[in-house]
A = this chain, B = another copy of it.
């Protein structure tokens, strides 16, 4: 699907955008867990892979705009290596697969860079990048290139048809993993037992996880990697997981479902609020719309719903402007998605999700919104509203005037052990609106309960 010509064209476009100088793109190295040679599963740097295609460790790409050449740097296989790994394709033959016709050993990178007038590189997000850049440029104070960041973001943000096909595949795998988890969970299991079904699914289908799954009865803990709780009847399980396909594209979905055959009445009410918010937000997506405005629309919809339930009160518009809804929805509505599950997060959210004219807010709530800018056809993004009842936050805000005006603390105190609900899908912005990617996955109350009832 991505042939040599694809990569050649991508590099050409980047080269034209930069106009001069030298572009240095670092592939990732194998990462040692507890000693150097005990490797984690390999994840390639997504920008390197976007321009140089190869999913192998130890490679470096240089697009020498001034010198008008492209070089792939890497290791050559030794005779010893052949005994341990079998014969592998040569660096030169790998390079040709991605349209590159000049290769050099990695030891020559520093030397090659010494002749360059101006070197553009991206922000280092792994310690290994920092060490390489320091060693190769001789500088300890690194200066990532803003013009390179902007050019890469501009190019990678608009997904090609071939990329959309690949993302669609990733999301379909993701949806199937979710259904499998929804059918697998049982009362009495530990969260990690349920999560094991996701790990199994990813490996069985020849894929990776695009991020470590969140699989929790404590959905209100947003950064939650603990998986030691036992599933009890009456709990909800929040599962947030995604597949990364062999071609390197990600999916990212969340479903929240009852451990028993049905939601409780209280769960049903709040689930429905999140579901309607999710649908309203998805319906609002279209080119030209600020994603920040979709987020705020979702906040108002959520507030309306919470008012009906009796957990919020007062004027919806005023409540959202005052940030009162962040008692329940502390984070952003969604983010870009592509080769990275938070696409290009390593390049800086301010460049990926915002523009020089639209800066990221520093307010609680909005400061966690990774995407704010106006939507364009070819964007791929998530929509993931939620309600999270965080006891610590209730207590922090109990004496806050704004909160007292809009929050019904008396009722909220009876929800302290509620947990969290999130519903997340992946969408493509089209010429006229949007469409959900991947095979459909149940999300309506009755659909989710039907899966659980059939499973139990």
A342 touches B35 (CB 8 A): yes
The one of B83, B126, B192, B228 in contact with A204, judged by C-beta atoms closer than 8 angstroms, is: B192
B206 touches A38 (CB 8 A): no
Q: With the chains together, A37 CA to B341 CA distance in Å?
A: 11
A340 touches B84 (CB 8 A): no
Contacts of A33 in B (CB 8 A): 40, 43, 211
B224 touches A35 (CB 8 A): no
Contacts of A125 in B (CB 8 A): 32, 35-36
B228 touches A34 (CB 8 A): no
Whether A85 contacts B224 in the complex (CB less than 8 A), given A34-B45, A203-B196, A204-B193, comes out as yes
Residues of A within 8 A of B (CB): 28, 31-41, 43-46, 79, 82-87, 125-128, 130-131, 190, 192-193, 195-197, 199-204, 206, 211-212, 218, 220-225, 227-228, 330, 339-342, 345-346, 390, 392-393, 396
The one of B34, B228, B345 in contact with A35, judged by C-beta atoms closer than 8 angstroms, is: B345
Contacts of A228 in B (CB 8 A): 206
Contacts of A220 in B (CB 8 A): 86
The one of B41, B192, B225, B342 in contact with A203, judged by C-beta atoms closer than 8 angstroms, is: B192
A38 touches B85 (CB 8 A): no
Nearest-neighbour CB distance to chain B for A107, whole angstroms, equals 18
Q: With the chains together, A410 CA to B89 CA distance in Å?
A: 29
A346 touches B35 (CB 8 A): yes
Contacts of A204 in B (CB 8 A): 192-193, 196
A200 touches B206 (CB 8 A): no
B196 touches A392 (CB 8 A): no
B83 touches A392 (CB 8 A): yes
Sample (17) of A-B pairs whose CB atoms are under 8 Å apart: A31-B40, A31-B126, A33-B211, A34-B43, A36-B125, A38-B341, A39-B225, A79-B396, A83-B392, A83-B393, A85-B222, A85-B223, A85-B224, A86-B218, A86-B221, A130-B131, A131-B131
